[in-house]
Structure 1
Amino acid sequence: MAKLILTRHGQSLWNAVNKFTGWVDVPLSERGRAEATIASTKLREYRVDVVFTSKLIRAIETAVCILTECDDICGGKIPIIQHDDDDPDWKGLDNYDNPDEVLPIFTNAALDERYYGNLQGLNKAQTAAEYGADQVQIWRRSYDIAPPGGESLEDTQARVLPYFNETILPYLLQGKNVMIAAHGNSLRSIIMKLDKLSGEEVAKLELGTAVPIVYDIDEHGEVTHKVVLDL
């Protein structure tokens, strides 16, 4: 039985000032790093074999903090970010004598937050005052309605799920424990699949910053148990 750990990134500097972030590459706030540290303590009884994150720094920071604040999670392995194969400046493990000591962290844009288009950088409260709170909620949480110039959750899911099915799921089917540190909407895309949610149901789904969700995944890729570590 494999474990799949989903963790939204900790609070970012733009979360802290209530701005739409999307693909803007904003780092964690002090609170966000503290949230990731707390998440690490909640996960200390778990062992991780492989990690996936988006390309955005707030997700990468969250993953690294979780893995390094509590060494037990790594099971004695060293977490190392695996850069793209076509980047010649970041090779270096070719001659490493013990690859079993490495806990790989793979980054991929398929796991990036949804693109918020014309809303990126705008204050959420001010945007609600201009367009109406109901309209902004539709842009933020509906399944198939995109914000102006941006992606809907359906659009986001169209890039997230192929990557999940083709790259991440095979590790789970091999019995490997996987952690994904990503974003509210890329994770909602995965949770919609795992929990078999409708578009209406996923619209009501809220994910807290750096709150781990742990799934037990059987050899057929089916969920047998789920727990949210929010206490």
Structure 2
Amino acid sequence: MLARLRSPECFRQLSNSARASLLCCYSSSAPLSRPKDFVPSTLILLRHGESVWNSQNLYTGWCDVPLTPLGEVEARTAGRLLDDNGFAFDVCHTSVLKRASFTANMALNMANQHYVNVRKTWALNERHYGRLQGYNKDEAYHELGIDRELLMRMRRTWNTAPPAMEDDHPYWHGNDRRYRDLTEQQLESSRGESLLTTSLRCMDYFQEEVMPDLAQGKCILVVSHANSLRSIIKVLDSISNEAIKVMSVPTGIPMIYRLDENNVPIPPNRLHEYGCEPIGYTWGDERGLGGFRGTYLGDTDRLKSIQGKRDLTNRDWQRIILRKVYDEAVNCETENVVETRNLWWALHAKMGESEEYKNMLLLDKMLTMLEEEAKSRKQRYITREGFDAMIKKLHLDSEGQVVLPFKKVGQGRKREEQIVEFTRLHPEAPEPPLATTNA
């Protein structure tokens, strides 16, 4: 069945459940039909520059907002980096939203490749956030009367959709001529998307329009949005549903993938054939697991800062969950305190609700802390103030544990060593596709 994923028509005709299953267990180990003189193809993923609503912390989705002046600088900087490192694109794919479309144009212009064919499609649009679009991310739960934990699940989990957008919503796109070719089913599903449904429509397009070019060894640029690009990365690197939510996709920083003859990403620390000195970014989920094989071209400190902010958001979500567990446990007690062992059981039950909760760092550490307190009988009861102090301690103690270090790949590697390794892995290639480098 996995082989069918390589056939665009077969993948498109599968049911949603079948395609969802493939997205979760994708493996590109079977050979593709490629020319004998094939050399690794190049896929460059670029998120649009900072938009006005990014800067205002608003749910954007399909709302068509412009870039900020900083976003324009990010787009042009990305193009200059790509040009400086010798990337020559065969085709560019982007969404129909101006922040991505403008970024693609600016990047190509700065790379002196304004003539490259640009294909635009709604299938590469950002995830549609339904009724949340236009609301502040930190205040939407209050303004719309949505449970705060549920709202965080909508933002971070794989298959939780936001409340659907109705026709009278100020940002309803049903009458926009860009979407007039959507089927009734597509239009209905775009009223509010989970990460899963976003990934399905994005990968439909990727399999049908992008993969055939990659199979020919071409250099492809995809300029899109955080969740659309996250979907592609998830499939390429077989990242789990739980782990993908931890990954941050920064605005305006190109990510490079080199794909071998089996369409498998080549780890940059195994074969430095990128023709440049990319930043190798190793990320981890809250257990320090996982990772992707793409490499960034960009500022290491900025990448650390961006991932650190996402780490903080994830821990803030866990603090919300912990406080809710305490509040529910208090309702079962006779007084405004909770017996330690009862709180342990309440948290244990909460973590059993999903694999995602089970793998949350603060929840796991709090469970251990409560167990130690209960066993030692140091603290039989816990007040709200005491519990908040415990949460704060765990929050500070875990700071920085999720973000693993960034490092440059290929440091110290001689060009001769790269050529020898490339020739061994690709004996039928005419010559190693390596640009002059100081590595």
Counterpart for residue 166 of structure 1 = 208
Query: Quick check: which one's strand share is greater?
Result: 1
Q: Using structure 1 for the length normalisation, give the TM-score.
A: 0.83
Q: Please give the secondary structure, in 1, of the residue aligned with 2:70.
A: helix
Counterpart for residue 23 of structure 1 = 62
AA aligned opposite 1:39: A
AA aligned opposite 2:207: N
Counterpart for residue 84 of structure 1 = none
CA deviation digits over 1:205-230, x for unaligned, max 9?
11111111100012322111321123
Shift of 1:128: 5.0
Aligned equivalents of 1:186 and 1:137: distance in 2? 19
Distance 1:39 1:14, change over 3 A: same
| 1:32 and 2:47 matched | no
Query: Quick check: which one's helix share is greater?
Result: 2
| 1:191 and 2:259 matched | no
Q: Please give the secondary structure, in 1, of the residue aligned with 2:251.
A: coil
Counterpart for residue 228 of structure 1 = 296
Q: Which runs of 5+ in 2 are unaligned?
A: 1-39, 165-191, 268-293, 300-439
Q: Give the one of 23, 38, 54 matched to 2:95.
A: 54
Q: How does 1:61-210 map to 2 (within 5 A)?
A: 61-71=102-112, 74=113, 78-79=114-115, 103-128=116-141, 131=146, 134-149=149-164, 150-210=192-252
Aligned length: 203
Q: Using structure 2 for the length normalisation, give the TM-score.
A: 0.45
Aligned equivalents of 2:102 and 2:88: distance in 1? 19
Aligned equivalents of 1:141 and 1:132: distance in 2? 14
Shift of 1:47: 1.5
Shift of 1:129: 5.3
Aligned equivalents of 2:89 and 2:151: distance in 1? 37
Shift of 1:134: 4.1
Shift of 1:180: 0.3
Structure 1 window deviating more from structure 2 (158-167 vs 123-132): it is 123-132
Aligned equivalents of 2:149 and 2:135: distance in 1? 17
Distance 1:220 1:138, change over 3 A: same
CA deviation digits over 1:142-172, x for unaligned, max 9?
1111111110010001101111011101111
Q: Please give the secondary structure, in 2, of the residue aligned with 1:114.
A: coil
1:174–1:219 Cα contact (<8 Å) kept: no
Shift of 1:41: 2.4
Aligned equivalents of 1:201 and 1:147: distance in 2? 20
CA deviation digits over 1:76-126, x for unaligned, max 9?
xx43xxxxxxxxxxxxxxxxxxxxxxx100001110111100100001121
Q: Please give the secondary structure, in 2, of the residue aligned with 1:67.
A: helix
Aligned equivalents of 2:81 and 2:265: distance in 1? 21
Give the CA RMSD over aligned residues.
1.5
Which structure is richer in relative contact order (CA contacts within 8 A, separation 6 or more)?
A: 1
